[in-house]
């Protein structure tokens, strides 16, 4: 019998839960759009106040006065691990499924607001700033959130079906949990790489760009 590779397992998982992945992705992008809408709904004084603090930050960054990369990495991995870990726990709790939806939506809002505000206030320069400050870590982090959210919802739905429909089990519950725990480990590894990008790559790119803009 041919041994099933991790790639085959992942593709089968995506195929089995494609509708959930689409739903979670749409929910995330709705958050991105909503975040951009929030920017447009802000008053001029609110935008000016926020842009002032942002300019101060970029000024310090161009002068090399930002926090150390090690501190940024620690804060980033702690925040991401806490957020993803909470999603994982909510998947086990069953009743936490609506909160998972909210967390995915909020993640989209943060990304949409960040990019939207920079572009709204700085035009093309803001686009390039968002490109170097938001994109590097989110290339891995956004898929990590979408996969974790989908797996947490799928696990929660499986528990609900078992509790209330009493279907016959193809796998023992401990096998469910083992696979679910493995997903968390993989996602945390992606978050680790993302935090390295955020702490060691993004600041360098931002410093080079802000030195030309400020």
Position 4 scores a pLDDT of: 63
Phi, psi of 184 (to 5 degrees): -60, -45
Q: Which residue has the higher pLDDT, 131 or 162?
A: 131
Which residues neighbour 87 within 8 Å (Cβ) at sequence distance 6 or greater? 100, 103, 145, 148, 149, 152
Instruction: Determine the average pLDDT of the residues in 9-25.
Output: 88
Q: Is 28 within 8 Å of 107 (Cβ atoms)?
A: yes
The whole-chain average pLDDT of the chain stands at 86
Domain spans of the chain, in order of start: 6-213
pTM assigned to the model: 0.87
Position 56 scores a pLDDT of: 75
Length of the chain: 214
The mean-pLDDT minimum among 6-15, 70-79, 106-115, 152-161 falls in 6-15
Position 139 scores a pLDDT of: 92
What is the per-residue pLDDT across 30-59, written as a single tens digit (0 to 9) for each?
999 999 999 989 888 888 888 887 777 766
Position 101 scores a pLDDT of: 96
Instruction: Determine the average pLDDT of the residues in 72-76.
Output: 91
What is the per-residue pLDDT across 90-105, written as a single tens digit (0 to 9) for each?
999 888 899 999 999 9
Phi, psi of 23 (to 5 degrees): -60, -45
Q: Which residue has the higher pLDDT, 10 or 120?
A: 120
Q: Is 201 within 8 Å of 131 (Cβ atoms)?
A: no
Which residues neighbour 55 within 8 Å (Cβ) at sequence distance 6 or greater? 214
pLDDT at 77 over 90: yes
Instruction: Determine the average pLDDT of the residues in 169-180.
Output: 74
pLDDT at 126 over 90: no
């Amino acid at each position: 019998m041919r041994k099933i590779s991790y790639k085959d397992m992942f593709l089968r998982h995506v195929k089995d839960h494609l509708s959930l992945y689409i739903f979670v992705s749409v929910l995330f992008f709705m958050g991105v759009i909503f975040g951009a809408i929030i920017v447009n709904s802000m008053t001029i004084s609110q935008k000016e106040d926020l842009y002032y603090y942002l300019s101060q930050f970029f000024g310090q960054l161009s002068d090399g006065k930002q926090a150390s990369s090690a501190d940024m990495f620690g804060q980033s991995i702690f925040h991401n691990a806490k957020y993803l870990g909470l999603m994982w726990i909510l998947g086990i709790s069953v009743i936490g499924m609506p909160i998972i939806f909210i967390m995915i939506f909020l993640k989209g809002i943060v990304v949409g607001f960040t990019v939207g505000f920079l572009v709204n206030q700085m035009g093309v320069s803001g686009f390039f700033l968002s490109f170097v400050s938001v994109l590097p870590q989110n290339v891995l982090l956004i898929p990590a959130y979408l996969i974790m959210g989908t797996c947490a919802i799928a696990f929660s739905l499986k528990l609900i079906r078992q509790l209330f429909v009493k279907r016959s089990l193809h796998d023992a519950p401990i096998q469910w949990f083992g696979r679910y725990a493995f997903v968390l480990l993989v996602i945390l590894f992606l978050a680790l790489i993302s935090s390295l990008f955020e702490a060691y790559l993004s600041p360098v790119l931002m410093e080079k760009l802000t030195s030309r803009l400020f």
